[in-house]
Structure 1
């Protein structure tokens, strides 16, 4: 239910010299003009309240004469493509860094190991899934110390299936 007020007209609510000149139903904004010819808009959905300036001062309707005391100013800002594309450039930079990280991660995960060449007194053995250094030594009846000595730098906790070990011949 609406409430009647004695201040429901533009003359009581608007500053002196300001008049309502339009309403945009799509954005629900009211448009006003002050006595200098500047255009003002209300916030969406508000008939009155805080107004913000939309443009600079223009001469009143029907007055095409230009006042020479204040020359018209052309925009002096020369915007470059870098200024206009700045936010998009930042987005592409982030996407590129993300893709670079993904390719680096995938490339590190699929790193190929150089094939192992065994000496004359040892034979190659291809590691299978579930193998351990102890199980390989027991299977080939070789002491574990000899197996580790033949394969310098071997980490028994990280045996990768498909890699090759050298089994010493006893």
Structure 2
């Protein structure tokens, strides 16, 4: 306990006749009432300090009623401020949405790799890393010329990994 804790009460810190009557948690503003009935507010976040008068004792508030045109203008300004405040988050959601759309397009709309239509005596073969025409023909116990003849326009120097070719079955 602090040795100055006795000075932390409202009676010690507030002017004579001033009493704390409320606190608004949203704006973090304390409200005080003076001996003559007038209301005062402190600065946001400060429990004590400089006070600002909000209303006179017993009389109406110092704020004048707002006409409809001014109220509409204030509402438009507040709506613009809302958009500006949320703009970075809306941009983030836009980027996430575009990413998800592109991912969906890539997964579902790109054509799947179709195996080549091989004749009745041939089977499809998918080319792997390190495959050459010589190695493929050797695995299937055939000549390279038979492999090239079975695949129209096959260039043995440019085999692409993942592509498919037809390998004739040897009987």
- Using the size of structure 1 for normalisation, the TM-score is 0.50
Q: After superposition, what is the alpha-carbon deviation per residue over 1:11-30, rounded to whole angstroms, capped at 9, x for unaligned?
A: 7645x699442355x89x67
How many angstroms does 1:130 deviate by?
6.2
- Using the size of structure 2 for normalisation, the TM-score is 0.50
Higher helix share: 2
How many angstroms does 1:10 deviate by?
4.5
Q: Cα distance 1:152–1:21, how it changes in 2: closer, same or farther (>3 A)? A: same
Paired position in structure 1 for 2:41: 39
Q: Cα distance 1:6–1:99, how it changes in 2: closer, same or farther (>3 A)? A: closer
Give the gaps of 5 or more residues in structure 2: none
Paired position in structure 1 for 2:165: 164
SS in 2 for 1:62: coil
- Give the number of equivalent residue pairs: 150
- Separation of aligned partners in 1, 2:137 and 2:111: 27
Paired position in structure 2 for 1:95: 96
1:18–1:32 Cα contact (<8 Å) kept? no
Give the gaps of 5 or more residues in structure 1: none
How many angstroms does 1:164 deviate by?
3.5
Aligned residues: CA RMSD: 5.2
Paired position in structure 2 for 1:59: 55
